[in-house]
Amino acid sequence: MSISPARQIAYEVLRRVEAEGAYASDVLHEALGPRVKPVDAALATEIAFGVLRWRRLLDFLLDRHLKRPVERLDLPVSLALRMGLYQLRFLARIPARAAVHESVEVVKAARKTSAAPLVNAVLHKTATESRAPAEQFLPPNLRRIERLATLHSHPTWMVERWIARLGEPRARELLDANNQRPHLSCALNAPECREAVLAGLERAGLHVETGRLLKNAFAASGRSPTRTEAFRRGLISVQDEASQAVPLLLGVKSGDRVLDLCAAPGGKTALLARALGNKGTLIAADRHAHRLKAMREQFERIGLKGVHVIELNAEDRLPFCTKFDRILLDAPCSGTGTLARHPEIRWRLRPAQLRELHKLQLGLLKNALLDLGPGARLVYSTCSIEPEENEQVVAEALREDPSVQRLPAKLLVEQLRPSLLDGSRAEELFLDDGCFRTSPAVHHTDGFFAAVLERA
């Protein structure tokens, strides 16, 4: 029996994530072409992301039956074991014999035939306990933090810092949210055609729901929206709702000079262009040529014209001879607000990187502020929930430039309210410090932070 297409795709995604440092979402997007059946695409996605989310718990349960930790086994063997156990423990509709047999076939296809008996034996053992609560297998003397981190499959250091900052109840909610399948949110590139576009998606077999936050957003399930005619024609784009909300905070007006500093992949740029209309200037910059290429392709798909796309390193003094009315700095960050969507991040990130990112982000913000004109506005945003990358960056930049102030929450609430599905919820997106925040646990979006700054 050969490996099913779904498991072959899932294995290759996981292999590239581990061996090449790739992102699962990118590899899946490449692999799930039009020839892949929707049912295979769905199962491949479920297994690949499920293994990445639950890797720590899976490894703990597997290590109980191994002489060597699963992390020290050859990569094809460890991946086959994780894939098999994920199906046994989390996918009740998959027969145990199929999960075990195909995992054995995975190691054979990877030319690790000698490991086939090991995979078979270990998965048969774990199959007998797959319906028992994982907690009963934890050592009774295990520290509380370690228990939470193992059962919720997160690094210990991450759980420790979230409990210290948020308290255990809120930290648990965040851990739970990070292990849920995220909503696949989309943006309407032609809001005036909303009803026709959504009706067409439903005819194509998608289940469409209204957005959680924004009027021009919706959630899609049942199949990938990227395989629809609406996507190919540029009528919709896949973009988290919190990400869609951030550009609205700039308050772009027709005729403005607008700079999108770290623009790729371009979703926020498109929203800025819509607000700008046919008058004004919009520059979209990024330092990576391959990301700029992908952004140009995205703009071509959605029919976006008039955006000046340039390659530059925003760590250096910006090369412009004019000041801007509006600047968006969606800074490179740890991505801890996107762990449901990008679960591999939790295993790659190290505490020391937060300090390194803080230094990078502060340099980018200070450079961007130099090109902000009088009375002009800048939005600093990240998809991180860590203070080092958010509040601390903004506070440090403001200390060094007293002519720049953070706009009050009251003004931003009124500005954002018309775009929200339920305008009465606008206040909950801002705290007393005036910063915009979304939470995976509360808003069912990615975790975003944004501060709106204005020069006097």
Give tens-digit pLDDT for 77-129: 999 999 999 999 999 999 999 999 999 999 999 999 999 999 999 999 999 99
Are 273 and 222 contained in the same domain? no
What are the pLDDT digits (tens) for 178-216? 999 998 999 999 889 999 999 999 999 999 999 999 999
Are 275 and 345 contained in the same domain? yes
pLDDT of residue 195: 93
pLDDT of residue 208: 94
Last residue of a domain, one of 116, 132, 148: 132
Q: Strand, helix or coil at 420?
A: strand
Given the residues 186, 333, 383, 435, the one annotated as active site: 383
Do 280 and 255 touch, CB atoms closer than 8 A?
A: yes
pLDDT of residue 74: 97
Are 258 and 307 contained in the same domain? yes
Q: Strand, helix or coil at 455?
A: strand
Are 252 and 301 contained in the same domain? yes
Are 306 and 409 contained in the same domain? yes
Last residue of a domain, one of 198, 215, 238: 238
List the domain range (segments joined by +) for residue 294.
247-455
Residue 334's alpha-carbon distances to 347, 358, 380, 428, in angstroms, are 12, 10, 15, 24
Dist. CA 12–CA 5, nearest whole Å:
11
**How would you classify residue 139: left for phi > 0, otherwise alpha for psi between -120 and 50, otherwise beta?**
beta
Residues forming a β-bridge with 318: none
CATH number for the domain that contains residue 191? 3.30.70.1170
pLDDT of residue 297: 94
Please provide residue 71's backbone torsions phi and psi, each rounded to the nearest 5 degrees: -65, -20
Dist. CA 106–CA 221, nearest whole Å:
29
Are 74 and 55 contained in the same domain? yes
Q: Strand, helix or coil at 348?
A: helix
Please provide residue 338's backbone torsions phi and psi, each rounded to the nearest 5 degrees: -120, 25
Does any domain span residue 172? Answer: no
Dist. CA 399–CA 444, nearest whole Å:
34
Does any domain span residue 415? Answer: yes
pLDDT of residue 382: 98
Does any domain span residue 208? Answer: yes
Dist. CA 329–CA 408, nearest whole Å:
19
Q: Based on the structure, what is the number of domains in the chain? A: 3
pLDDT of residue 38: 87
Dist. CA 135–CA 53, nearest whole Å:
17
Last residue of a domain, one of 132, 154, 170: 132
Do 67 and 108 touch, CB atoms closer than 8 A?
A: no
Q: Specify whether 383 is catalytic.
A: yes
Does any domain span residue 256? Answer: yes
Amino acid at 360: L
Are 123 and 206 contained in the same domain? no
Does any domain span residue 403? Answer: yes
Does any domain span residue 67? Answer: yes
Residues forming a β-bridge with 186: 218, 238
Amino acid at 394: V
Are 273 and 209 contained in the same domain? no
Q: Sign of the C-alpha dihedral, residues 389, 390, 392, 396? A: positive
Dist. CA 212–CA 445, nearest whole Å:
8
Are 211 and 343 contained in the same domain? no
Are 70 and 103 contained in the same domain? yes
Does any domain span residue 428? Answer: yes
Dist. CA 20–CA 288, nearest whole Å:
18
Are 400 and 451 contained in the same domain? yes
Does any domain span residue 207? Answer: yes
Dist. CA 99–CA 124, nearest whole Å:
10
pLDDT of residue 433: 87
What are the b/e assignments for 308-344, b being 16+ CB within 10 Å?
ebeeeebeeebeeeeebbbbbbbbbbbbbbbbbbbbb
CATH number for the domain that contains residue 35? 1.10.940.10
Are 378 and 230 contained in the same domain? no
Amino acid at 195: E
Q: Are strands 185-188 and 236-238 parallel, antiparallel or unpaired?
A: antiparallel
Do 249 and 272 touch, CB atoms closer than 8 A?
A: no
pLDDT of residue 357: 98
Q: What is the mean pLDDT of each run of 10 residues along the chain (456 residues)?
A: 90 97 94 90 96 98 96 97 98 95 95 95 96 95 96 98 97 98 92 92 93 92 89 95 96 96 95 92 95 94 95 94 96 98 98 98 97 96 98 97 94 93 90 92 96 96
CA 268 to chain centre: 14
CATH number for the domain that contains residue 315? 3.40.50.150
Exposure of 350 by Cβ count < 10 A (0-12 exposed, 13-18 middle, 19+ buried)? exposed
